[in-house]
Structure 1
Amino acid sequence: MPIPNNFSDNELYNLLKQDSEEAFNLLYSRYWKKMLFKAMLKLQSEADAEEVVQDAFIDIWKSRHTIQIQNTFHTYIAAIIRYKVMAKIANRNKVIHYGVADIHELHVVDNSTQHWLNFIDLRSEIEANISALPEKCQLVFRMSREAGLSDKQIADNLGLSQKTIEAHISKALKALRTSIGQLLGTFLSLLVLFKIF
């Protein structure tokens, strides 16, 4: 019996985990063009963008039995694409650094699957730590980092002073740094370096 088109992404992912190729194809159809567009914006190369998106879906299929989605499939696939774009840019920079004459001497081990699994784990860890913040602190932090609102906009929306908003954000960042430590610092540095977010 065919899968209805109105199935949610997460319903399809649950079927995918049970080896449903039809569910995989439906998710592929829903997200291929969106993710290709995202990748092309960063990479400025259709061929590289296609490779990144193709690899992401291959990884999803290979890891279907082991990966648990914490939020939405959209967040999940977007995170994988961001990582793979970052890795592609890093690889380009490596090639430029070594020069064309040295390319044949490069022996790069492809650990991309493990890297993006670590990436997803880190995102899950960050989300868990944000969820553990006090309710008002969590709300302010999400409005700042996820909704992209300024301190003033958040203050106006919540009827609080900007100083209070700044204090909540500072408290949230301190808690994240403490709980995730150097790993988060390295992760954020990479995102800034490659302008992924």
Structure 2
Amino acid sequence: MLISDNLSDNELYSLLKQDNEEAFDRLYNRYWKKMLFKAVLKLQSEADAEEVVQDAFIDLWKSRHTTTIKNTFHTYLAAIIRYKIMAKIADRKKVIHQGVEDIYQLQVVDNSTQQWLSFTDLQAEIEASVAALPEKCQLVFRMSRESGLSDKQIADSLGLSQKTIEAHISKALKVLRTSIGQFLGAFLSFLLVLLFIS
């Protein structure tokens, strides 16, 4: 089946949902360069950017039977790429965090330095907790807290109900409070949650 060049993104996505590989190729060719450019700017690594874009399109193909796009294909794809970029950055921070333990073996005399180490460790704990959230829950939370989108904007972008978005954010906050509560005392945890994620 030959596909017309004049088909819109959403028309191509409808064909993709019917397992049409040519429609997938058309969407890929329309967007991979734009998405790669965006990912390179954020990650400052062409290899990481290529991996992010490839993973995004693989996810797009795998979820073709279960995902319905209510807005534009471009908006949906951009949201996937954003999530993948943030996940890649989180993975980098995890690697850095593994080396932080070596720092604690040093004798810290300056109290301000000790406070800085604790602050850094706490940030790493928060990021690790966010990165451990289920994929959709993490995407919703990051779009809310890091991109500053409203529940309605996120719902429209992902084709979900506003109540579903609220449930994801509520779940994420609960996980974070529990995680940070174990890391610090309950009262200090509450203050830091307000400071960093409210």
User: Smaller-chain TM-score range?
Assistant: 0.5 to 0.7
- Matched with 1:30 is 30
In structure 1, give the amino acid aligned to 2:169. Answer: L
- Matched with 1:39 is 39
- Matched with 2:139 is 119
Deviations 1:55-95 (A, max 9, x none): 00000000000001121000000000000000000100000
RMSD (Å) for aligned C-alpha atoms: 4.0
Kept in 2, the 8 Å contact 1:84–1:116? The answer is no
Map 1:103-142 onto structure 2 (within 5 A).
115-116=135-136, 119=139, 126-127=151-152
C-alpha distance 116-86 of structure 1, shift in aligned 2 (>3 A): same
Aligned pairs, number: 135
C-alpha distance 120-5 of structure 1, shift in aligned 2 (>3 A): farther
Q: Aligned pair 1:90/2:90, yes or no?
A: yes
Q: Identity over aligned residues, as a percent?
A: 62
Partner Cα distance (2:36, 2:154) in 1: 31
**SS of the residue aligned with 2:59?**
helix
Runs of 4+ in 1 over 4 A off after TM superposition: 120-123, 128-131, 184-187
C-alpha distance 45-31 of structure 1, shift in aligned 2 (>3 A): same
- Matched with 2:62 is 62
C-alpha distance 73-3 of structure 1, shift in aligned 2 (>3 A): same
In structure 2, give the amino acid aligned to 1:115. Answer: E
- Matched with 1:183 is 169
Partner Cα distance (1:74, 1:24) in 2: 14
**SS of the residue aligned with 2:42?**
helix
Give the CA deviation at 1:51.
0.0
Give the CA deviation at 1:129.
8.5
- Matched with 1:5 is 5
Give the CA deviation at 1:119.
2.8
In structure 1, give the amino acid aligned to 2:96. Answer: I
Any stretches of 5+ residues in structure 1 without a counterpart?
Answer: 103-107, 132-175, 188-192
Partner Cα distance (1:120, 1:22) in 2: 31
C-alpha distance 10-184 of structure 1, shift in aligned 2 (>3 A): farther
**SS of the residue aligned with 2:96?**
helix
Deviations 1:101-122 (A, max 9, x none): 99xxxxx9xx99x514863698
Kept in 1, the 8 Å contact 2:137–2:172? The answer is no
Kept in 2, the 8 Å contact 1:80–1:120? The answer is no
> What TM-score results when the alignment is normalised by the length of structure 2?
0.57
